Structure 1
Amino acid sequence: MPRLDLSASSVSLTRAICDIPSVSDDETTLADAIFEAVSALPHLEVFRDGDTIVARTDLGRPQRVAIAGHIDTVPINANVPTRDIEIDGEPYLWGRGTVDMKAGVAVQLKLAAELAEPRVDLTWMWYDHEEVEADRNGLGRLSRDRPDLFAADFAILGEPSNGQVEGGCNGTMRAVVRTHGIRAHSARAWVGENAIHRAAPILMRLSEYRPREVTVDGLAYREGLNAVAIRGGIAGNVIPDLCEIEVNYRFAPSRSAEAAAAHLRDVFAGFEVEITDAAEGARPGLDAPLAQEFLAAVGAEPRPKYGWTDVARFSSLGVPAVNYGPGDPQLAHHDEERVPLAQIDAVERGLRAWLTAR
């Protein structure tokens, strides 16, 4: 089993954990290495739920902060092992997981090992299955199995944010919009009714749709509604009787999933709409006192998070949460995934300064 040296630098730890493949469904080797490393730390109480590891202090501090990061990645595409590269004179670590989000996990492991007397009690969470269906998410499973471990006054998710603070997140919803027709031989098309042709107004509504920009607690969230798949057709000589257009709706955290579903039904009035997946967004949570202290300590300008992240799980439990981690989110899942070494160091310094200030 690979072993992790938590006395190494955050950059070295990033390299080490990126070189342990952990594509979703294959996280056990990395989870074993994390569990062994943190179990050796006397100041932490350690729990394991599948391939999710939780380690926490119990110092009797009046406040507790949860800091979480997922350990799985999307599939590797000839981008492991990692390698050091330079772009315009700036050093980077290149490879799968460097951005999403093993650099953030490495910073967390480094600080978990070294901060035996933080200013607040800490709950560290490293979890599996974030990159797949929501019902398999390790953090979601843990919230069902051990909701007591989520007790906190503030939470930080180490998702890539270019070393800035991204508050909350948009909600996300998928739906299928259907049209129906009547099958017929294409040589006698007038006998049938073409379901694909009937879908043209759906595509027109999508092309004419103008998404909102919504300000929530001082941050401007951009919404989006897009077709992401279309299915229809039986054979080359058959008029199709069914067409399905799958749409993805990203909605501001001021809107509930119920309201988002109602909006989709309004947009596609007159058509069959089936909601197939939904995840609530999360408000920024930046008005919490700990959040204000955190922003001041790391010197970051808060921004909105357009994508959905697990901050929403904390928010649903009444814990304000933000995203804060190294790496450009636009390079997440990219074959040229790479993180500036300076950002890894900067995020470590920011978290360390805040967690040790008195």
Structure 2
Amino acid sequence: MPDASPTVLDLASDSVALTKAICDFPSVSGDETALADAIVAALAGASHLEVIRDGDTIVARTNLGRARRVVIAGHIDTVPINKNLPSRFETDADGTEYLWGRGTVDMKAGVAVQLKLAAELVEPAYDLTWMWYDHEEVSADLNGLRRLAEHRPDLFAGDFAILGEPSNGQVEGGCNGTLRAEIRTKGLRAHTARSWMGENAVHKLAPALARLAAYEAETVEVDGLAYREGLNAVAVAGGVAGNVVPDEAVLTVNYRFAPSKSVAEASDIVRALFADYDVAIVDAADGARPGLDAALAQEFVAAVGAEARPKYGWTDVARFSALGVPAVNYGPGDPIKAHADDERVPVSQILDVERALRAWLTAD
């Protein structure tokens, strides 16, 4: 952790320096207020923007009467810090320069690009709605975009949306859906010295774990993009004491499913696989189809010279998709490095994404 967090953001600095400054504002989910305050303060002089705040979510938008509106969003929270702040620059043996530290990939480099462009693009080709929101890395019921959609659904109006999630500077269409299920077993407590008098609930999970180990996840093509699915055990809980046969156990399973499936269909698949168990779906979110058939999406992909790829993880493109707004992921950073202790983003990608996005947003 840094000895002292920064207190201001200088939007006149280049996007790399701005990324570093934003990363050095610790903003683990639930602790975004200082960064949100700094964003509002930094935008105070931008007279071309209408700035709206809802909790620690900030919206800034132009109202120029353009024929089309683009919504560009990014979350300002991160997963917990693990000795990877303050951020620093490092160079690989091949000469590639990186900015290292929590949030550099997921997704403060994207946020920095968005903030710089929001402040500088006074006469964009489209009307723009910029959104920076809190609580993306935690339970969906806390998500700042979900809350904003309840309070101000009108702010989501647009012809196309971009999430600045890390995509290696390419365009990742749509996203997989996600589901968590709890598989629960019951047993009978007994002293382990006389274990035959009880029923071990943990042991009863063995067949379920064997099914998961043998499960072969599908690759599903959706609108020309191949989405890889995944079904995995992510937690096992059970046990009373070191000398007691446990009478209850819970296996938590996470299913990442292609956007061609609904939550209901994905739930049925999980329930069918564990039909002989007590299964409860505890959290779920639909995915989003690629959205690349929209004219504005095709123009965007061509303009930034990107390759269209599938997004395997869930992102808030799904919220826009559900509202009928085609949305894609586009931002600097390798998604594989998101949440990693050695999280780092190539400096060149930050600059390339800024350059490409600026060119598209200012084109006639």
TM-score range, shorter chain: over 0.9
| 1:75, distance to aligned residue in structure 2 (A) | 1.9
Per-residue CA deviation, residues 277-300 of structure 1 (Å, 9 max, x unaligned), is: 111111110000000000000111
Q: Distance in 2 between matches of 1:352 and 1:213?
A: 35
- The alignment status of 1:13 with 2:18, answered yes or no, reads yes
**Which residue number in structure 2 is paired with residue 46 of structure 1?**
51
In the alignment, structure 1 residue 193 sits paired with structure 2 residue 199: yes
Report the counterpart of residue 3 of structure 2 in structure 1: none
Larger deviation: 28-37 or 253-262?
28-37
Alignment of 1:99-248 (within 5 A): 99-248=105-254
1:123 aligned partner, one-letter code: T
Deviation at 1:183, TM superposition (A): 1.9
Output the amino acid matched with 1:59. Answer: L
Most deviating of 42-51 and 70-79: 70-79
Residue 39 of structure 1 and its aligned partner are, at CA, apart by: 2.5
* Counterpart for residue 69 of structure 2: 64
2:97 corresponds in structure 1 to 91
Structure 2 match to 1:4 = 9
Q: CA deviation at 1:123?
A: 0.1
- Which segment drifts farther, 32-41 or 219-228? 32-41
1:247 counterpart letter in structure 2: V
| Residue 355 (structure 1) aligned with residue 364 (structure 2) | no
Q: Report the Cα distance in structure 2 between the residues aligned to 1:237 and 1:82, rounded to whole angstroms.
A: 47
Aligned equivalents of 1:19 and 1:65: distance in 2? Answer: 29
1:30 maps to which residue?
35
Note the C-alpha offset of 1:18: 1.2
Equivalent residue of 2:43, what SS?
Answer: helix
Classify 1:77/1:239 alpha carbon distance in 2 versus 1 (closer, same or farther; 3 Å).
closer
Bigger Cα displacement from structure 2, 129-138 vs 1-10: 1-10
Farther off after superposition, 327-336 or 230-239? 230-239
Secondary structure (helix, strand or coil) at the match of 1:4 reads coil
Q: CA offset at residue 162 of structure 1?
A: 0.6
Q: CA deviation at 1:242?
A: 1.5
State how far apart, in whole Å, the 2-side matches of 1:183 and 1:292 are: 61
Larger CA deviation: 152-161 vs 183-192: 183-192
Cα distance in 2, alignment partners of residues 183 and 33 from structure 1 = 55
Q: Residue 32 of structure 1 aligns to which amino acid in structure 2?
A: D
Distance of 2:358 and 2:205 partners within structure 1? 55
Corresponding position of 2:276: 270
Cα-to-partner distance string for 1:33-72 (whole Å, 9 max, x where unaligned)? 1111212111111101111110001111111000001111
1:189 Cα offset (Å):
2.8
Deviation at 1:96, TM superposition (A): 1.4
Q: Which amino acid aligns with 1:234?
A: V
Q: What letter corresponds to residue 180 of structure 2 in structure 1? A: R
List alignment gaps of at least 5 residues for structure 1: none
Report the 3-state secondary structure (helix = DSSP H, G, I; strand = E; otherwise coil) of the residue aligned with 1:323: strand
My pick for the range that moved more, 4-13 or 287-296, is 4-13
2:227 is aligned with what amino acid?
Y
Superposed displacement of residue 16, structure 1: 1.4
Q: CA deviation at 1:185?
A: 2.6
Taking the aligned partners of 2:46 and 2:282, their CA distance within structure 1 comes to 44
Residue 76 of structure 1 deviates from its aligned partner by 1.9
1:75 to 2:80 alignment? yes
In 2: Cα distance, 1:319 partner to 1:124 partner: 15
Deviation at 1:191, TM superposition (A): 2.6
The two structures have a TM-score, normalised by structure 2, of: 0.96
Q: CA RMSD in A?
A: 1.2
Aligned residue identity for 1:278: A
Q: Secondary structure at the match of 2:132?
A: strand
Q: In the TM superposition, what is the alpha-carbon distance from 1:238 to its structure 2 partner?
A: 2.3
Deviations 1:162-218 (A, max 9, x none): 111111111110011122222223333333222222221111111111111100011
> Aligned to 1:264, what secondary structure does the other structure show?
helix
From 305, 312, 316, give the equivalent of 1:310. 316
Q: Give the letter aligned to residue 22 of structure 1.
A: S
Paired residue secondary structure (2:179): strand
Letter in 2 for 1:316: A
Deviation at 1:234, TM superposition (A): 2.0
Q: Give the share of equivalent positions with the same residue, in percent.
A: 72
Task: Give the number of equivalent residue pairs.
Answer: 358
Residue deviations 1:318-338, cap 9 Å, x none? 111111000111111112111
CA distance in 2, matches of 1:68, 1:342: 21
Structure 1: distance between partners of 2:64 and 2:336:
39
Comparing 24-33 with 303-312, greater Cα deviation is found at 24-33
Q: Deviations over 1:80-124 (max 9, x none)?
A: 222111012011111111111111011001111111111111000
Gaps of 5+ in 2: 1-5
Which residue identity does 1:89 align to in structure 2?
G
2:202 match: secondary structure: helix
Local SS of the residue matching 1:172: strand
**In the alignment, structure 1 residue 327 sits paired with structure 2 residue 333:** yes
Match of 2:358, SS?
helix
